[in-house]
Amino acid sequence: MSYLPDDYEPVEDRIRAFYKDHPQGRITTDIISLDGESVTFRASVYREVDPDPSPAATGHAHGLLTKPKAVEFIETVSIGRALANLNYAKQGARASQEEMQEFEDVKQPVYPPRNPARKNASRPATDKQIGFARLLIDTVEEGSEVAAQILGSEPLELADKATVSALIEDLKARKEAAAKKVTRSSGQDDSEWVEVPF
């Protein structure tokens, strides 16, 4: 079942509807837990400002702090859940548009773009590829830095064929360029240069 944005309403619409029905109401949020990786919010919805000390409804949201504005986003989701608990939601759609979009993002992880013309791009790299890549990493001056840029934090042994192929091509090109450095032979004046292989 795929996510269709029109099937879910934004939290903003729920807030607007709530304040239309309860102009003296209020919505508060509290951080229940916060560490370096995740945050949990509780939203409380009150129909009136003072009379009832207990909220009419609450809602919770927990999420990872992996994206910009993650704290604000997760707080908004908790408000949407609290308002859904107070029947401010489309029938049968307790989740808000924001919550469903986040769920869809998690369900479908984003991978680096791949060349669709390459067959077997997602297959694991062969032992031969890995061995050759290791040799190049060790022999090319900037080999380790290039590997870190292409592989990120992924170990070479877990990379797919396309990624290791890209690493090998980059390192081979750098090795060939280094082998063709131009230098001056002794005894020649400044206008005479020759290519000297290393």
Task: Count structural domains, the chain.
Answer: 2
Mind listing the pLDDT tens digit for each residue in 103-115?
A: 444 444 444 444 4
**pTM of the full structure:** 0.48
- Identify the band that residue 22 occupies on the pLDDT scale cut at 50, 70 and 90: very high
The two structure tokens encoding residue 107: 């369900």
* 15/101 same-domain check: yes
Q: What is the pLDDT of residue 67?
A: 82
| Same-domain pairing of 131 and 168 | yes
Residue appearing with tokens 């067959």: 119
Distance CA 162, CA 169 (A): 10
Q: List, for residues 36-49, the tens digit of each pLDDT value.
A: 889 999 999 999 87
Q: Which of 60, 87, 107 is the last residue of a domain?
A: 107
Residue 112 forms part of a structural domain: no
Final residue belonging to a domain, choices 107, 127, 153: 107
Q: Which domain holds residue 11?
A: 5-107
The secondary structure of residue 185, as a DSSP letter, is: P
Cα–Cα distance, 197 to 42 (Å, whole number): 67
> Do 11 and 70 fall into the same domain?
yes
Residue 124 is classified by DSSP as: B
pLDDT for the residue numbered 32 = 93
